[in-house]
Amino acid sequence: MVRSRALITGASKRVGGAMIEDLAKKGFNLIIHYNNSQDDALDLQRRVIEDYQVECDVICGDLTENKNIQDFADRVFDKYNDIDLLVNNASIFTKSSLGDFNLDEFDRIFNIHLKAAIILSLKMKVGNIINVLDKNITRYKTQYFSYLIAKKSLAEFTKIAALQLAPKIRVNAIAPGCVLYNDVDLSNKKQMDEILSRTPLQKSGNINNFLQGMNYLLDNDYVNGEILFIDGGDCLNNVY
């Protein structure tokens, strides 16, 4: 049996780790990308190999550094020529504003969210690409200026790539809301409760909601260029 092979960036834990385990259940061979979380990545690798008898490699790369992105892409795709699922999930999330614009920080954030996604996507030959966005791409008021601009740009890249890489590759995106609410630090609970109170469904999602979205995009072979919001309708509430 020929198995599909998936590369997921930022895959050592949280959403990335959940995607790895879900795809392992489905028989995918896997490549876990990580930067700093080596112990988490190796532990995840061990679990999926033992539990699901799939191939699973672990490859390190700092995608915030411009010079490292092409090197990482070359290393991965030179080693594996059968990758047919790419999930651009790696992310950093830091506060910033237009007024205190910092070019170095801006470059780091754009590198990991946009440049890495573009370079890795161009290495794909067939299959699926899923970009992980943020439900806040519909908003303009933010305390995370560089992050939001990068995610908005990734959303536009999703549509451009869906057009230009078809028909051999489908490109879609998921824009999650509070799917990991139960994992947040208790010090943020009041703030999170305020956000959820403004969400139309007035509740958090969970990681299974996210995985259901991922599997929908993989299973429905007539979906291309779609941005799937999994946020309880919060993207509609763009007044803050």
On whether the CB atoms of residues 66 and 119 are closer than 8 A, the answer is no
CATH number, position 180: 3.40.50.720
Q: What is the pLDDT of residue 196?
A: 77
> What is the model's pLDDT at position 204?
84
Apex 111 CA angle, 108 and 117, nearest 5:
150
Range of the domain at 203: 5-236
pLDDT of 191 = 72
- What is the tens place of the pLDDT at every residue in 47-61? 999 999 999 999 999
Judged by average pLDDT, the poorest of 2-16, 79-93, 177-191, 219-233 is 177-191
* Cα 199–Cα 204–Cα 205 angle in degrees, nearest 5: 115
Confidence band of 194 (pLDDT split at 50, 70, 90)? confident
Read off the pLDDT of residues 126-162 as tens digits, 9 standing for 90 and up: 999 999 999 999 999 899 999 999 999 999 999 999 9
- Comparison of pLDDT for 184 and 125, the residue scoring more: 125
- Say how many domains are in the chain: 1
